[in-house]
Structures are given as C-alpha cells and as structure tokens.
Structure 1
C-alpha cells in the first residue's frame, strides 16, 4: 500500500474535513515518531506495537555476485515489535 492509498483509507476511517487534513495529521504523527526515535527513545503503543532504535554490530558478509568478503559497518536501525493485539489480529 502506498502512502497515497493509506491516506485515502485513513480519511475514510477517520473524522477529517478533507484528505489534505488527513495527510497533515498523518505526517504529524510520523514526524513525531521519527523525532522520538532520533532522540534515542522508544515509542510504545501497548497492545499494538513498539518501535525502538537498536545498534547493529559490525559484521563480515560475502558479496553474492563476486564472492568477495566485506565488512559492514555498525549502524543504528529501527526495530518494530508488534504487540499482542496486533499479532492476534494478523494471525486470524
């Protein structure tokens, strides 16, 4: 689903005066989640899911095209863990 398709669904499900308003509110939510993660905190919606920033260690890998060994630098990544309610709904 693209962002445009998601906004249309979000607009239909919510109480917005226009799709533009739905898009602004969605962007505000996404920017807020982004800001919290950049600050090093986690976002936890109990029952729905949790986003957190974790450190991925430096590791050695093999390039599948050339077979050459390479080292991938350590980096921070965003990890999402679904909550119980969301997991149960998906499992149906």
Structure 2
C-alpha cells in the first residue's frame, strides 16, 4: 500500500471524511511519530499505539564489516534506527 492508497483507505473508512482531511490526518500522524523520534534520550523515544504496535528508537553499535566486492574489511559507523514491533492483536490478525 502506498501513500495515496492509504489516504483513500482512511477516507473510505471515515465515510464523511474528505480526501484533504484524510491527508491532514496522515501528515499529522507521520509528523507526530517523526518528531517524537527526533527528540530526547533514545531509550525514551517509544510510541505505543494500541492494536497496532510500538515504534522505538534503537542505537546500533559501530562494527566491522566486509566489502562484498573486494573482501576488504571496513568500519560501519554507529547509527540510530527506528524499530517496529507489532502488537499481539495485529499479529493474531495476520
């Protein structure tokens, strides 16, 4: 499902919701999640959405890797990533 299909799905589910209102709702959710992930201590960057799941900021440590073309050893820098874990309700529905 892409963004346009998602917005159309929200519009249909809301019956009286216009496409513009569905787009505003989508943008608000994305902005809210992005804003929360950008602030504060990584361990405090957790968003729990009942019936859907949990978004959490994690830090991957720096590590060594290999260039697959040359076999040369390279350093992979530490970085922050967002992980998603589905709720039990969502997992059961699959």
Residues 51, 72 of structure 1: alpha-carbon distance in 2 compared, 3 angstrom cutoff: same
Candidates 70, 73, 84, aligned match of 1:69:
73
Instruction: Report the equivalent of 1:86.
Output: 90
The runs of 5 or more residues in structure 1 that have no matched partner are: none
TM-score (structure 2 length as normaliser): 0.86
Instruction: Report the equivalent of 1:39.
Output: 39
The size of the alignment, in residue pairs, is 90
The runs of 5 or more residues in structure 2 that have no matched partner are: none
SS at match of 1:67: coil
Aligned residues: CA RMSD: 1.4
What is the alpha-carbon distance in structure 2 between the residues aligned to residue 67 and residue 87 of structure 1? 39
Could you list the runs of 4 or more consecutive aligned residues of structure 1 that deviate by over 6 angstroms after TM superposition? none
Q: Is 1:23–2:4 an aligned residue pair?
A: no
Q: Once the two structures are superposed, what CA deviation does each residue of 1:1-45 show, in whole Å capped at 9, x if it has no partner?
A: 211111111111124431111011110011011111111421012
What is the alpha-carbon distance in structure 2 between the residues aligned to residue 47 and residue 21 of structure 1? 23
